[in-house]
Amino acid sequence: MLNAYEACCGRHVRAGRGDVLALVQEDTQGAIHTLTYAELDEYSAKLAGWFQAQGLGKGDRIACMLPRSPQLLIAVLATWRIGAVYQPLFTAFGPDAVDYRLGRAGTKLVITDHANRYKFDGLSQCPPVLAVGGATREHADDHDWQASLTHTSMSDKPPRLSPEEPFLQMFTSGTVGKPKGVAVPLAGMTAFAIYMELAIDLRDDDRFWNMADPGWAYGLYYAIAGPLLLGVTTHFCEAGFSAEGALAFMKRHHITNFAAAPTAYRLMKASGLFDDAYETLELRAASSAGEPLNTEVVTWVERSLGCPVMDHYGQTETGMTCNNHHSLDHLKHVGAMGVPMPGYRLAILDAEYHELPAGEPGVLAVDIKNSPAHFFQGYTWQEKNPFVEGYYLTGDVVIRNEDGTFQFAGRDDDIITTAGYRVGPTDVENSVMTHPAVAESAAVGQPDEIRGEVIKSYVVLREGFEASDELAEEIRKRVRERLSTHAFPRIIEFVDELPKTPSGKIQRFKLRAQAAEDAKTGE
């Protein structure tokens, strides 16, 4: 029987490691805040007691939209402490994205701050709000965060739950319809720990910074749960990314172990600020996830940052499954995803779900029976069945090389990966369609040197409307405000019609090919 709070905090305190820093956070003003494991234990106990006083308990979804902050970490641990399920909300989400996720999950409480509070106005069904900074005149019914931390601490022991019971409620990008729910069971903590130990090579004395946002899987799994499982210090930088800020943060906090999406490495390289940074940095290991790293970036990291960078592969559903592991002695070569993480057997399947030999592209699949670390149970509301004949189908097209390493080849779906974030085209298209000038829309990824891909929307206008730069900006602004500031179309092309099948389905593959050609020609 398990409890995520106990695994990530309680047991470290009982083992006499309460004085170890759990978190070092730097806010947007440059002030530094810390939490020891003992302080995290104390504050999460008080917030958990307040949760219980509100009638919250085992299995309830508690959502949080906060920046990378001590309050975020306390909220996560307090949620787990009562046996509830933590639900992340990315701070760039707009009201539409929030409304769907809260309604679908039946969320019982939202924790947010003044900067994000407006996103919960006018929702079809908004649960009670716990506000960091307290209630305001506009939201007088909100509960006050500071008052919740003066509540009597939770007195009873955290409930012990079955490994199959959830502790995280995620949503993954969908290509058809809305995002799909992924309830991560407590058994997933084992896989998280394996990844941190073997792929990240996280050590007791490391000063670890995973730049990924905890509103998404890689940040939540491996900037919060993973390092806390190992009892190591994790670092948060509240400010948005800049190459100058990242370099200063690494120096100021003596970062030794670093993880980020390829976009961050590309921006660091492009800035020129990191050239020869190895002379002043203390990095021992760097890791990358979200999309493949290109050869130039790998070479640059090793030369300029003075440490190896390893490419890792995973999904919201499975966590990381195929990596170039820092702490394992196996063949590693640039451009490869790596080898299956211990605890997983991966296979390449053809269209009839037969395993393919080396050298032939097919869909990457997890052989569930022979993967004891596999934890994905299926989508929360059965939105789709991803299991076939004992395999979980990732949807990614991969080649297994003769040397046993795996090579990413593409996707068999329409997911757009921009700056490390996976975006389903349907949400973008639906938001574009809310503009009164738009008759039809299709979203695809267009190759981009910095972000990997940028979102491009092909738009058919209604009669009476004319294409213009002003109209394109109106559409962009609408998507930014309604959906998310990371999921808006940076490129909009007005067209007379969209390519379709005889049955009327949009042929996005044709639009992707056109977008790729446009990227080459600079259009």
Say how far apart CA 21 and CA 238 lie, in whole Å. Answer: 18
Whether 210 is covered by a domain: the verdict is: no
Whether 216 is covered by a domain: the verdict is: no
Whether 450 is covered by a domain: the verdict is: yes
Residue 97 has pLDDT above 60, yes or no: yes
b/e sequence 343-367, b meaning 16+ C-beta within 10 Å: bbbbbbbeeeeeebeeeeebbbbbb
pLDDT tens for 489-498 read: 999 999 999 8
CB within 8 Å of 375: residues ≥ 6 apart: 184, 185, 187, 188, 190, 191, 318, 319
Verify that 401 and 310 share a domain, yes or no. yes
Number of domains the chain contains? 3
Confidence of residue 503 (pLDDT cuts 50, 70, 90): very low
Say how far apart CA 2 and CA 276 lie, in whole Å. Answer: 46
Verify that 353 and 251 share a domain, yes or no. yes
Whether 231 is covered by a domain: the verdict is: no
pLDDT tens for 380-389 read: 999 899 999 9
Say how far apart CA 367 and CA 375 lie, in whole Å. Answer: 12
* 452 backbone dihedrals φ, ψ, rounded to 5°: 85, -60
Verify that 377 and 254 share a domain, yes or no. yes
Verify that 177 and 193 share a domain, yes or no. no
Q: The domain spanning residue 483 has which CATH number?
A: 3.30.300.30
Ranges of beta strands (E only) in 343-472 are 346-349, 362-367, 387-388, 391-400, 406-411, 416-418, 421-423, 438-448, 452-461
Torsion, CA 151, CA 3, CA 39, CA 29, rounded to 10: -90
Verify that 431 and 458 share a domain, yes or no. yes
348 contacts 398 by C-beta, under 8 angstroms? yes
Between 423 and 176, whose confidence is greater? 423
pLDDT tens for 21-56 read: 999 999 999 999 999 999 999 999 999 999 999 999
Q: What is the pLDDT of residue 267?
A: 86
Among the residue ranges 350-364, 439-453, 468-482, 490-504, the one predicted with the least confidence is 490-504
Segments forming the whole domain that contains residue 494: 416-521
* Average pLDDT of span 194-219: 97
Question: CB under 8 Å, gap of 24 or more: what pairs does 27-33 form?
Answer: 27/69, 27/238, 27/239, 28/238, 28/239, 33/69, 33/70
b/e sequence 248-275, b meaning 16+ C-beta within 10 Å: bbbeebebbbbbbbbbbbbbbbeeebbe
Verify that 421 and 275 share a domain, yes or no. no
Q: The domain spanning residue 162 has which CATH number?
A: 3.40.50.980
Verify that 305 and 279 share a domain, yes or no. yes
Verify that 395 and 426 share a domain, yes or no. no
Whether 2 is covered by a domain: the verdict is: yes
Nearest to 424 by CA among 91, 173, 106, 101: 173
Q: What is the pLDDT of residue 288?
A: 94
Verify that 161 and 249 share a domain, yes or no. no
* Average pLDDT of span 327-337: 89
Which of 62-66, 156-160, 272-276, 405-409 reaches the highest mean pLDDT? 62-66
Q: What is the pLDDT of residue 465?
A: 94
Please give the share of the chain, as a percent, with pLDDT higher than 90: 76
pLDDT tens for 399-430 read: 899 999 998 876 666 778 888 887 878 778 87
Cα angle: 14, vertex 20, 22; to 5 degrees: 100
